[in-house]
Homo-oligomer: A and B are copies of this chain.
């Protein structure tokens, strides 16, 4: 079976929970080798230690799971091919970890707790938090551009370009800027965001990177363009469902379950899907998105079962 063809189904396919745990372990191992060792001159060793603290040993690794699972769907299994997908997954997780470190800073969302641990600026200081985020962003691009990620330079450049689009002004950073502006407007009793504005804000802030995570798996596996588009659409629906679930958990979850502060969105005057749609409306919209995600996967049948489960997982999770 050639690269880029959907893999044949297996009778002993593991379930979603098992596959997610496997993605966590594989991503952790790959990140271990890609992050700098905490050695070197004073300053360097501390920076490396803080980068490792931020990127290792925490998080659901949902994005990494999407990269690995989509790559497997399109044939990237076994030996070197799996390593390519693992490298792409590690790059996505470095980018994600950088965004959390910067977003948690006092001048941004001012959070002391992340993934159940004190945030980087609490353990070290704000200067270290700035540098850790900066270096993790750089590392994400370094991983993708390295020939070990794919032998074809145009594939590597495509991964870099798409990640940069998902991460930058027209993606994640732009979404964070919209979010901060919405908070300021709320504090000044300005007009609240509309449903369309919240949807767009979240699509930029979290959706773009989740879409790239799935897309990267298809690209490293050499999937056809129609399949790349299809998994991107799947991940877009999943990403929006993920954010609605986040807004619901911020109201219904506990700090112990989530490993981060709860009720903070309300406190910060952030516009959430729950504010706009109500609790029942938000839950209904999340269910709709899960169905949309599943519809995108229909052509792949049972082989995409775990990706379908992933969409259900993001709305049913307790943390």
Residues of chain A whose beta carbon lies under 8 Å from any beta carbon of chain B: 36, 41-44, 46-48, 51, 98, 102, 105, 107-108, 125-128, 130-131, 133-135, 137-139, 141-142, 144-147, 152-158, 160-161, 164-165, 167-170, 173-174, 176-182, 185, 197, 200
Contact = CB atoms under 8 A, between A and B. Distances in A.
A168 B127 CA distance: 15
Given A47-B169, A153-B154, A169-B47, A180 B141 contact: no
Given A41-B197, A107-B127, A133-B134, 8 more contacts: A42-B181, A43-B174, A43-B182, A44-B178, A107-B125, A131-B180, A152-B154, A154-B154
Contact of A161 (B41, B142, B155, B165): B142
Nearest to A165: B142
Contacts of A108: 127, 130
Given A154-B154, A157-B153, A47 B131 contact: no
Contact of A137 (B36, B126, B134, B179): B134
A56 to B, nearest CB: 15
Contacts of A177: 43-44, 46-47, 128, 131
Contacts of A36: 169-170
**In the complex, the 9 A-B pairs of residues with the closest C-beta atoms, listed nearest first:** A153-B154, A43-B181, A138-B168, A142-B164, A107-B126, A145-B160, A145-B161, A153-B153, A156-B157
A42 B178 contact: yes
Contact of A173 (B138, B161, B170, B179): B138
Contacts of A130: 102, 105, 107-108, 130, 133
Contacts of A134: 98, 102, 133-134, 137, 168, 173
A43 B138 contact: no
Contacts of A137: 134, 137-138
13 contacts: A41-B200, A44-B181, A107-B130, A131-B177, A131-B180, A134-B173, A135-B169, A142-B164, A144-B160, A145-B157, A153-B155, A156-B157, A157-B157
Contacts of A47: 169, 173-174, 177
A172 to B, nearest CB: 9
Contact of A135 (B44, B98, B173): B173
Contact of A46 (B126, B135, B176, B181): B181
A36 B164 CA distance: 14
A44 B203 CA distance: 14
